[in-house]
Structure formats: structure tokens, C-alpha cells
């Protein structure tokens, strides 16, 4: 049967699940502003969840200046990608059981 206790608590949260999904959905890094618009979050809320994921080692941010307005780009780490794949594996089990 499914082991729900293995569901990564850091990822299994609407906001952070959104961030992880977007970062995993393409190879290019995501600018802070794009995440904010796409997920419809406030600065404070978004940065808090980003920090949580960062402290978990799931993503990194790099700040760029000099070329237009400053912006910070976020990317999944290898650990983040693995954790997300593991998470998706459980989602798949739930989907298969649910229908």
C-alpha cells in the first residue's frame, strides 16, 4: 500500500509545490518576478517559501545586475530534482489507486 508518511512535507504544500513544479517544468531558470506573477503570490510570501526550499537544499538563486533591472534567477538543485521525482512517484501511486 502507499506510504503517505514518505510524502515530502517540504514539497507537499500548495505554494512550494507550485514553485517546484514550475522549476521542474523547464530547463531554464525562473526569474523571481515570473514566479510571482505565475503563482499570484506576494513578495514576502513567495520569498519565504523560496527560503524554505533553499534551506532544504532543493533550489538555488543567483542575483544578476548591470543588464537592465536587477533580477534573481532560481534553479532546481540535483537534490531538489530528485526529491521532486520521488514526490511525483507517490502522486502516481495515488492516481493509480484512485481510478
> Is the Cβ of residue 64 or residue 82 nearer to its own copies in the bound state?
82
Cα-flanking dihedrals φ and ψ of residue 35, to 5°? Answer: -60, -45
Partner from DNA, its own copies, none contacting 31, C-beta within 5 to 8 A by type: DNA
Which parts of this chain interact with DNA (CB under 7 A)? Answer: 13-16, 31-33, 36, 41-45, 47-52, 61, 63, 65-72
Q: Is 65 in the site for its own copies (CB under 8 A)?
A: no
85, with CB counted inside 10 A (0-12, 13-18, 19+), is exposed
> Is the Cβ of residue 62 or residue 86 nearer to its own copies in the bound state?
86
Beta bridge partners of 64: 71
Rg (Cα) of the chain, in Å, rounded? 15
Partner from DNA, its own copies, none contacting 97, C-beta within 5 to 8 A by type: its own copies
Amino acid at each position: 500500500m502507499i506510504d503517505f508518511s514518505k510524502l515530502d512535507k517540504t514539497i507537499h504544500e500548495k505554494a512550494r509545490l507550485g514553485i517546484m513544479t514550475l522549476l521542474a517544468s523547464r530547463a531554464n531558470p525562473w526569474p523571481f518576478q515570473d514566479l510571482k506573477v505565475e503563482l499570484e503570490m506576494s513578495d514576502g510570501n513567495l520569498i519565504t517559501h523560496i527560503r524554505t526550499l533553499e534551506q532544504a537544499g532543493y533550489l538555488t538563486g543567483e542575483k544578476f545586475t548591470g543588464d537592465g533591472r536587477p533580477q534573481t534567477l532560481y534553479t532546481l538543485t540535483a537534490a531538489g530534482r530528485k526529491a521532486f521525482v520521488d514526490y511525483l512517484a507517490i502522486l502516481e501511486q495515488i492516481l493509480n489507486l484512485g481510478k
